[in-house]
Amino acid sequence: MTLMNRRALLAAGAAATFTAASAPALSPALAKTVMQAAPERAAVIAAMKRATRFMTDEAAVEGGYVWNVLPDFSRRWGELEASPTMIWVQPPGTATVGHLYLDAYHATGDEQFYQAAKSAADALVRGQHPAGGWNYVIDTAGEESLKRWYATYGKNAWRMEEFHRYYGNATFDDAGTAEASQLLLRIYLEKRERKYRAPLDKAIQFVLDAQYANGGWPQRFPFVQGGGVHGHEDYTPYITFNDDVAGENLEFLLYAWHGLAVNGRGDARVLDAIQRGMDIFVKTQQPQPQPAWGLQHFPDTLKPAGARTIEPQAFATHATGTNIRSMLGFYRLTGDRKFIARLPEALDWLDQVKTPQNLIAPGRTHPTFILEGSNTPVYIHRRGSNITNGQYYADTNPNNLIVHYGSFRSVDTAALRREYEELAAQSPAEVSRNSPLKARAGSLKLPKYFTLQDVDVWDMSSDARRLAKPAPGRAAELVAGLNARGYWPSPLTTTSNPYIGEAPAAVTGGEYQTTRVGDLWDTSPYNTDYPVECVSTQVFIRNMGELIEALEG
């Protein structure tokens, strides 16, 4: 069961680290010496502490973080541009940084890193919804300030429909709630500080309360009245597979079941929720001739549902591939063959709907969306120039597609079929022999590290370190590349238009069909050909992880 996919952001985020050439200039001879030298452990830890001090003392807002900031802090971004008082919950935001600090503490034993992790956890506790989960963002200035941000930057980000409305509740989308919950669990288990137990219990209760009786989870909870945005139905109560919502919740619950067990007994409510959370995958696989899944499903009929206007009511090939892999993981966890009984049907369907040869894009094998009842692929387009006059729509024309949401996906059905055949050939007892779900509650510990790789439940009681180690000389390069202020200079490869007022109804001249951003009123992020220097949270996490690997040696 591969979970925590959003941590892949750390490998492919909005900013990439500058190379050694971006550090202070070194002579060729000195550069060679630096690259060949292995810095002493004390030097590596000193660099880690200095980089952490910059983040906690200068970059943080009341213990929390966004994704990128300019060095003078005049502008800040998460998934959208943030106000000066905002912090981000979505990875790689506040919880991811907190996980990194705990990882650094485990690698060094230095109390500075533990205190930094606590500050991140405290920021999340202050921003925790009363029901127990988290929104994408937290505004330290309060709800009225956050509402103003939603009414300006959020509302005018044309392609970012999840930010067009202030819901006032919490979300499972993009692993924000799951990763924050896991951080609270790790912080509590580290030293059993009582102040973290109550918010941790609230987070667990939130996952339990939000789950439907049939086992599915909605995108947002508690449910709110008032419909959707811009005339579209509110999709957030639908059972959600998009961005591995169910998988993220299952992972957290499994960690909690082991981590909080007492005398070999885990919470029976948690175990029941895990079982029902796996069962919903079986229940929502549709009958022949389309034995597949959508990104969302209606909670009553369990049929595929639409969501954002870029996500029509249809089957989703990439969600189907992800769910197949999840169910293979469920078989390994349980030894119950119901989870793999109909997977060959889904694999055969994926082979049937592959992209026609004349439309295949590099690295893409399948159309994203397939209409229910016809196996007809549909593709996503837009017209207009901003949120006021623009519309997204789907049709059968594979040309002039939007670029910020793929109409084609890569699904390796051959690899999935091989994995299925390998597991199906094993007996239930054999395949689930090392299952963390079948292990005695409390007999397994959380992984030592959470940010060195995409951890999942199979990494329990392990170090969870990278398979590929940093290149020789990388630690020396990182130590040398830390600038005088204590951060690694990074290129801001995405930017956004500042908010300049309500978008006009008139279409602005220009062609925005295939761009990431619309006219000057669109506050959506876009790639820039003119990157400027920034402080990148993602780069900080990745570089610190490589230094941790150097310490582990």
- What is the C-alpha separation between 123 and 60, in angstroms, rounded? 10
Asked whether residue 383 is domain-assigned, the answer is: no
Asked whether residue 513 is domain-assigned, the answer is: no
Asked whether residue 388 is domain-assigned, the answer is: no
- What is the C-alpha separation between 302 and 240, in angstroms, rounded? 11
Asked whether residue 15 is domain-assigned, the answer is: yes
- State the DSSP code for 344: H
Asked whether residue 391 is domain-assigned, the answer is: no
**Residue 72: closest CA among 84, 56, 87:** 84
Per-residue pLDDT 10s for the chain (553 aa) are: 444 344 444 434 433 333 333 444 445 555 555 555 678 999 999 999 999 999 999 999 999 999 999 999 999 999 999 999 999 999 999 999 999 999 999 999 999 999 999 999 999 999 999 999 999 999 999 999 999 999 999 999 999 999 999 999 999 999 999 999 999 999 999 999 999 999 999 999 999 999 999 999 999 999 997 777 766 789 999 999 999 999 999 999 999 999 999 999 999 999 999 999 999 999 999 999 999 999 999 999 999 999 999 999 999 999 999 999 999 999 999 999 999 999 999 999 999 999 887 676 778 999 999 999 999 999 999 999 999 999 999 999 999 999 999 999 999 999 999 999 999 999 999 999 999 999 999 999 999 999 999 999 999 999 999 988 889 899 999 999 999 999 999 999 999 999 999 999 999 988 999 999 999 999 999 999 999 999 999 999 999 999 999 999 7
The pLDDT value given to residue 28: 57
Q: Residue-wise over 66-102: b if at least 16 C-beta within 10 A, else e?
A: bbbbeeeeebbbbbbbbbebbbbbbbbbbbbbbbbbb
Count Cβ atoms within 10 A of the Cβ of residue 467 and give its class: 0-12 exposed, 13-18 middle, 19 or more buried.
Answer: exposed
Around Cβ 544, how many Cβ atoms within 10 Å? 26
Amino acid at the residue 323 = N
The pLDDT value given to residue 123: 98
Amino acid at the residue 179 = E
Q: Which CATH number characterizes residue 230's domain?
A: 1.50.10
Largest CA distance in the chain: 69
The pLDDT value given to residue 228: 72
The pLDDT value given to residue 31: 53
Asked whether residue 508 is domain-assigned, the answer is: no
pTM over 0.75: yes
Asked whether residue 384 is domain-assigned, the answer is: no
Full domain range(s) for residue 332: 5-306+317-352+411-480+487-500+523-552
Look at the chain and report how many structural domains it folds into: 1
Q: Residue-wise over 298-332: b if at least 16 C-beta within 10 A, else e?
A: bbeebebbbbbbbbbbbbbbbbbbbbbbbbbbbbb
Asked whether residue 311 is domain-assigned, the answer is: no
